Amino acid sequence: MAPSYTPMMEQYREIKKQHPNELLFFRLGDFYEMFFEDAEVASRELEITLTSREAGLNVRVPMCGVPYHAVDNYIARLINKGFKIAICEQVEDPKQAKGIVRREVIKIVTPGTVLSETLLTDKGNNFLAVLYEEDATLSLAAADISTGECLWEVFTGAYRLATVCDYLFRLMPSELIITSRIEELSNLNDFIAQRIPHCVQTTIRVDDLNILAQLLRQHFGADELPASHSAEMASGYLLYYLHQTVKNDLSHINRLSQFNANEHLIIDASTLRNLEITRNMHDGGKKGTLLSVLDFTKTAMGGRLLKKWLEAPLLNPLHIDNRQSAIGELLDKPSIRHELQEALGEIYDFERIVTRIEIGSANARDLISLKASLSVLPQIKRCTQVTETKLLSGISQTLQTHTDIVTLIENAIVDNPPLSVREGAMIKPGYDLELDELRTMARNSKEWVQNLETQEREKTGIRSLKVGYNKVFGYYIEVTHANSGSVPPTYIRKQTLANAERYITPELKEFETKILGAQEKIVNLEYHLFTQIKDRVKAHIKEIQQTARSVAELDSIYSLAEAAGRYGYVKPQINTREIVIKDGRHPVVERLLLQEMFVPNDTVLNHKDNEVLIITGPNMAGKSTYMRQVALLVLMAQIGSFIPAREASICPVDRIFTRVGASDDLATGQSTFMVEMNEVAQIIKHATTKSLIILDEIGRGTSTFDGMSIARAVVEHIKDRIKAMTLFATHYHELTELAENSPVVKNYSVAVKERGNEVVFLRRIIPGGADKSYGIHVAQLAGLPKKIIERAHELLSELEEQHGVNRLDSPAPIAAATGTQSLFQSTLAEDLLALDIMTLTPLEALNLLYKLQNQAKQEVGQL
């Protein structure tokens, strides 16, 4: 016999049928309750008590619940575990309901549609991405509903999925929607599992695709719609899913933009990861990244934009120059920079605040934060009005101050409103006449109660009589049992206590009705006025969003200027031919060195005589740091940033490729060598003559002769066919022979100084190749036992005799010691010649002499 459920439980079961893939939070009074399997799952995941509830005749079902006022914390924990939550609320006044109160799901919270501050990263986006494929065209659409950003892109060709994966790695979506058959779905799933494991995948289908096109045209202007049908479908699916989950008009998503790859330096997933540009390889966090060094932004909007700049640098030299000029102007005007720092520090994340206002989840504190943010805009506008460069003066001209909104909120909302908008106490006196009258009535009620108490004491002669109130029984007159004989017949008994009786009178009952009605009216009127204020702000959302974008751009420019000022960065010249860097430094590593000076290095790359640089030398000597350094300096130059160098002239590159380090891809069963070969294959497929390639130790994951053959073949292919500017580090010294037969290949090595059995790595990159790897010396530095080191030397001598190796006692860097010393001396000479001795104080001269001596000692290996 089927269970007979109560009407409330039948209502729950009917709603749950419509949301089988979500945990249903069912509002009952002050709690959200879950039943059946949902209760068991939530109890386990949230570690809360699982109970049961009578759900009908002889029927009990599992149940657990969370208080409504703390629901965001519980939702956050479930979202982080990949769950989706359907929020079911009462949508009918219980006083007017006939039978059970009507309930509906008002929103579905998914990883890609969250708006709670507890689930969002201040300086990071939270993207929802959609993929749609048809006719060998793969389209991506993505939106961050917390900021209103919405973009699309189309990918074609045999390698379209690999390019999509690169975009996804940059976006790091928390949710991915699959809307059609994806040809290489298994490869996509492997990539998501390995590189974006937190991303939740959902598959949806719409039978009538005309619905998607209609939805898209209703939401965006005709000039913003994608020309590609595939991209149109992806964008339509994106809007469809958002409407199904957020259940709002989404008017804050009012711009649909194409991410045009032709305007940006492309950074694939491997390079973004290997160079640790915005996320480190340890835990995916910000620490130890280029972003961590450059981020001095004061606003969340600026922090998000700076991250986008680093992940998508510019290609157009004019655009790069515009940013450089703006950064340079703020660098040269520290007083303006300081004033901007203070003003920007007062700004809240109002880009997300206006989203909450539009969606309907904002409270009065959000309006106060919005007012505080907009209030400093006149100061920012004054700062930028005295600037001269194109970007800064453009921001000044377009920046709106929104004084009408500031005045509205200032006049309407109290400075420290409560968290809830349903309890009143948030509208200022004087804003609304009716509200003021109701409040006056409520205030006078205390005086009226006091007068009534005095009056009744005199009339009855009962000195202990008092008039009180509680939420259960309302207003009452309390008389002790000892004085019950003096109670007038007009008193009506209401409640008996242990030592007293409580009464009501017609006069007190009339007063109670009036006062309680006034309190309810006050709360309802305040909420109504608050809604009106929000609607007036909503009418200006588009303009406020534009202001947020202007503030973000200004904040990002300020951040790069601040970094340049603090770290002594210089402006790189932009050319179209070559990369020339003098005394370049690694921007991240130099910040981590506390006890020693970072050794700078020069770089020359061009298509004439320095196209491919073969770099040899021992492990731990600095080859990888040097190559990463070159890539990062080029990238910094292409976002318009100043760079750590003495001087530089850099041509923009279309792509940066890196194959650095070794890592197994165990999730997909790939070895280190297979990962290495996959990454090299991608480089060979996509690199152009305008690219920058960084390759570190290709071929080490297989046998010596196999690895050497692969490494040489790769270099020859790049040299002969791709002709990209390339840094190639290797332990295969035989590759240095390539420089003998090609004018574009040059050999470089890391300077090393030997003193007996001791080796000192000088960290300088010098012309010429190394003739040995110093592997045993590195092992000794790592702490291997002395006996192992001695035995290794013996075995090495035997192997060299067997294979007829003629090993020089001194490595090439030391054989070229004269050249090395000359290089160092010329650096010191330049520093000395640049000094204005006549302006130095005695203390400055002493400090400088000490610094130069330490530099000389380090360069000759005495430190």
pLDDT tens sequence across 576-611: 999 999 999 999 999 998 777 889 999 999 999 999
Q: Which residues are within 8 A (CB) of 258 and not within 5 positions of it... i.e. 6 or more apart?
A: 151, 152, 153, 226
For residue range 406-455, list pLDDT tens digits in order: 999 999 999 999 999 988 999 999 999 999 989 988 888 888 899 999 99
pLDDT reported for residue 493: 94
Name the pLDDT band for 797 (thresholds 50, 70, 90): confident
What is the pLDDT, as a whole number, of residue 831? 65
Q: Does 65 show up as a binding residue in the annotation?
A: no
- What pLDDT does residue 825 have? 42
User: Length of the chain in residues, anyone?
Assistant: 863
Task: Give the pLDDT confidence of 238-293 residue by residue, as tens digits.
Answer: 999 999 999 988 889 989 999 887 889 999 999 999 999 999 988 889 999 999 99
Strands (E), 246-379: 257-258, 266-267
Distance CA 683, CA 679 (A): 6
3-state helix, strand, coil in the chain (%, to 5): 50, 20, 30
**624 assigned ligand-binding residue:** yes
DSSP states along 839-861: G--HHHHHHHHHHHHHHHHHHTT
323 Cβ contact list (under 8 Å, min separation 6): 314, 391, 557, 560, 639, 640, 641
pLDDT recorded at residue 668? 46
Is the per-residue pLDDT at 813 higher than 70?
no
Average pLDDT of span 549-565: 98
pLDDT tens for residues 87-98? 999 988 777 778
* Dihedral angle of Cα 836, 838, 842, 848, to the nearest 10 degrees: 10
**Residue 215, C-beta contacts closer than 8 angstroms, at least 6 positions apart:** 236, 239, 240, 243
The reply to whether 707 sits in an annotated binding site is no
Percentage of residues of the chain with pLDDT beyond 70: 89
**By the 8 A CB rule, do 220 and 194 touch?**
no
Q: In what order do the strands lie in the sheet with 257-258?
A: 200-203, 175-178, 128-134, 137-144, 149-156, 257-258
811 marked as part of a ligand binding site: no
CB 344 within 8 A of CB 555: yes
Give yes or no for residue 862 having a pLDDT over 80. no
Amino acid 809: pLDDT = 36
The SS3 call for residue 237 is helix
- The Cβ-side half-sphere exposure at 719, using a 13 Å CA radius, reads 22
Cα–Cα distance for residue pair 857/863, rounded to 1 Å: 6
Flag whether pLDDT at 662 surpasses 60.
no
Q: For residue 540, what are the β-bridge partners?
A: none
What CA–CA distance (Å, rounded) separates 762 from 755? 13
The pLDDT tens digits for 845-861 are 776 777 777 767 665 55
Give the pLDDT band (50/70/90) at residue 824. Answer: very low
pLDDT number for residue 827: 57
- Domain annotation for the chain: domains and CATH numbers: 7-109 (3.40.1170.10), 118-259 (3.30.420.110), 295-402+540-567 (1.10.1420.10), 433-534 (1.10.1420.10), 573-774+811-815 (3.40.50.300), 816-863 (no CATH)
pLDDT tens for residues 566-583? 999 999 999 999 999 999
Q: How far apart are CA 340 and CA 221, in angstroms?
A: 36
pLDDT band at 57 (very low <50, low <70, confident <90, very high): confident
pLDDT score of 828: 62
What pLDDT, on a 0 to 100 scale, did the predictor assign at position 392? 97
52 bridge partner residues: 62
For range 800-829, the mean pLDDT: 46
Mean pLDDT of 182-208: 93
Measure the CA–CA gap between 275 and 631, rounded to whole angstroms.
8
838 is in an annotated binding site: no
Tell me: is residue 620 an annotated ligand-binding position: yes
Does 619 carry a binding-site annotation? Answer: yes
Among residues 821, 689, 822, which one has the least CA distance to residue 753? Answer: 821
Higher pLDDT, 840 or 769: 769
Give the 3-state secondary structure of 768-795. Answer: CCCCCCCHHHHHHHHCCCHHHHHHHHHH
Residue 97 annotated as part of some ligand binding site: no
Q: Does 704 score more than 90 pLDDT?
A: no
Q: Give the model's confidence band at 759: pLDDT under 50 very low, under 70 low, under 90 confident, else very high.
A: low
On the CB side of 297, how many CA atoms lie within 13 Å of its CA? Answer: 27
How much of the chain, in percent, has pLDDT values that exceed 90? 66
| Mean pLDDT, the chain, integer | 88
Per DSSP, what are the bridge partners of residue 137? 134, 156
